[in-house]
Amino acid sequence: MKIAIVEDDISMRKSLEIALTEYKEFEVTTFKNATDALKKLDSSYQLIVTDINMPKIDGIEFIKQIDFKTNFIIMTGNATLNRAVESMRLGVKDFLTKPFEIETLVEAIKRSAEIAKVEAEYERRYEGKDRRVGLPDTRLVKSERRKPRSDRRKHFYGYSQKLEKILNLVEKAAKTDASVMLLGESGVGKELFAKEVHYLSPRYAQPFIPINMAAIPDNLLESELFGYEKGAFTDATAMKKGLFETAHKGTLFLDEIGEMPLALQAKLLRVLQEHEIYRVGGTKAIKIDVRIVSATNANILEQIENKKFREDLYYRLNTIPVKIPPLRERKEEIEDIAKERLYKVCRKYDFEHKSLSDDALKALYDYAWPGNIRELFSVVERAAILSESDIIEAPDLFLESRKSQKSIKDLEKELIIELLKDFDNDLDKSAKALGVSRTNLNKKIDKYSIEV
């Protein structure tokens, strides 16, 4: 198994390299930072083990820039536990808190290899073939309690009154060209709702173009959005259209809008006002007709207060705000979502159809789902791959081990307490280490009843 280790601490990097090379089945290559790794990594690496706290490009941004299929294991120190939890929401299979025993890492690597083996066998058997299989008799039958909805609403498996209310609002918003801002935690499916706005609108036959503000370096974001003229900079050997032009007559989805740099916010505001753009290095105004849908899990009002987000842009983007509740507040949807996901996983890997036992369904219902629907998808897929029986039982879901790792709120509270202790109750230093404003830290201290 070919493994890459990305770790800026030379002592840790060498220790892992020496320890893992004792296992003959592992072929290990190490990198001192994400920049070096991105230059040399390719699809031959079956697993990447990366630190989360690194200079220039941290572990989260590094993962987002990998453009081939592989698996990841995150290593983290206590001061970045909140980012580690975020990485799990993005689909990272395991994260390890430093310090850890080498056996713990080896166990995580073997789990990753087991899943990769199943996926590779599937690709080998079905390469170039039609992978569709017939729908089994035990397929998900729509619950009688579901209300009839538009045929275009085919991406939402479950039903709840809260979901129905949101979709009704989305359908009304879609008929106009008003800007929509989707608000909600990571993993609730904001891009799915953005697509719903597009496909229920008169623009449905035109392009839907998504872009994640947090995934693209600031110095590249402008040319990505607006394009550039030939000769605009050293590598601009030909003119390139940006995403605004590509999305002409359609919808541009700006995900993680709170991460947009202030300088670009001013340019976006002008686009919304004038309906025209300038390519980087260009002097000619280009008229565009684009509907904007944005999304964020950040507290935009707090960012405005801290001068990190323009208030005038916020009101332009937030014409129709759509708040998407977390999965723990829409538990009626869990069973249908889980069953539909299980069916699709079985079809994807050509498994005999598997089903969830009553105890497994109860375990799914009782779990808090801090990672929302994205986490539910991950849990169901892992259970389908690793379970030995056609009936998935509660232990196959490994939810108890997830609970034992504490909830996100527990982790955040514990992290704040530790930081306050380390910095002798200095709120400014603690807020900086946590990556939030002092105002936000005070709110969290009040929320968790932490004594300072």
For residues 145 and 148, give the distance between their C-alpha atoms in angstroms, rounded to a whole number. 10
Owner of token pair 């980012």: 83
For residues 240 and 245, give the distance between their C-alpha atoms in angstroms, rounded to a whole number. 10
Q: Where are the alpha helices (DSSP H) in 175-293?
A: 190-199, 218-226, 243-246, 262-274
Q: How crowded is residue 424: how many other Cβ atoms within 10 Å of its Cβ?
A: 8
Lowest mean pLDDT across 29-43, 153-167, 233-247, 315-329: 153-167
pLDDT at 149 over 50: no
In which band, very low, low, confident or very high, does the pLDDT at 94 lie, cut at 50, 70 and 90?
confident
Give me the pLDDT at residue 184, please. Answer: 92
Cβ-contact 223, 255 below 8 angstroms: no
Give me the pLDDT at residue 119, please. Answer: 62
For residues 273 and 270, give the distance between their C-alpha atoms in angstroms, rounded to a whole number. 5
Condensed to tens digits (0 to 9), the pLDDT of residues 99-130 reads 788 888 888 888 778 767 766 655 555 454 44
All domains in the chain, ordered by first residue: 2-126 (3.40.50.2300), 161-327 (3.40.50.300), 330-404 (1.10.8.60), 408-447 (1.10.10)
Condensed to tens digits (0 to 9), the pLDDT of residues 403-443 reads 555 555 666 777 788 778 877 888 888 877 666 677 778 87
For residues 71 and 382, give the distance between their C-alpha atoms in angstroms, rounded to a whole number. 13
Q: What is the mean pLDDT of residues 258-274?
A: 94
Model pTM score: 0.60
- Using a pLDDT cut of 70, give the percent of the chain over it: 84
Which one-letter amino acid corresponds to residue 304?
Answer: I
Give me the pLDDT at residue 132, please. Answer: 34
Q: What is the mean pLDDT of residues 340-368?
A: 91
